Amino acid sequence: MMEQPINFQLPRSWPCIKIRQQNLNKSLTAQSDMLQLLDPDEYDIAAIQEPYLNHNHNSCASRNWFTLYLKEHYAKPNKTRSLMLINKRIPTNKWTQIDLTLSDMTAIQMQTPLGSIILINMYNDVRNSEGP
């Protein structure tokens, strides 16, 4: 029996992609706690709503993660309510950021052994009934 070649190695076997999703309420304490629990051997992606941003409008992550901001993040940093962290074990030629031009959504397209998928991280403001 022939083994199927896997294009890149993740902490677990495909087709499983493990995502941690959390609203951090712009709290440095909550973000630090989440990063401590975000084991790169367990998770592939972190979908964060209301991330903590420092005085330079940057979030924080460990060396194991790529941080994906919205395209307009530095032009309108107060509107950033969604970001994604991508495990650095996933080669950059296997995923690409999708520009949705919405301040509440970050998205990527990822190539997996089973085909292409799109992952969208959306912040939904429950106080506002208007959708993106």
Q: With helix as H, strand as E and coil as C, how does 19-36 read?
A: EEEEECCCCHHHHHHHHH
Per-residue model confidence (pLDDT) at position 13: 58
Per-residue model confidence (pLDDT) at position 20: 95
Across 76-100, average pLDDT: 90
Q: What is the pLDDT of residues 42-77, one digit of tens each?
A: 999 999 999 999 988 889 889 999 999 887 777 777
Average pLDDT of the chain?
84
Per-residue model confidence (pLDDT) at position 65: 96
Per-residue model confidence (pLDDT) at position 94: 94
Per-residue model confidence (pLDDT) at position 76: 76
Per-residue model confidence (pLDDT) at position 124: 82
Within 10 Å of residue 113's Cβ, how many Cβ atoms?
12
Q: Which CATH architecture has domain 19-122?
A: 4-Layer Sandwich (3.60)
Q: Own/partner pairs for 106-112, CB < 8 Å, 24+ apart?
A: 106/47, 106/68, 106/69, 106/70, 106/82, 108/45, 108/68, 108/84, 110/17, 111/7, 112/14, 112/15, 112/17
CA distance 83 to 45: 11
The domain segmentation of the chain, as residue ranges, is 19-122
pLDDT(117) > 90: yes
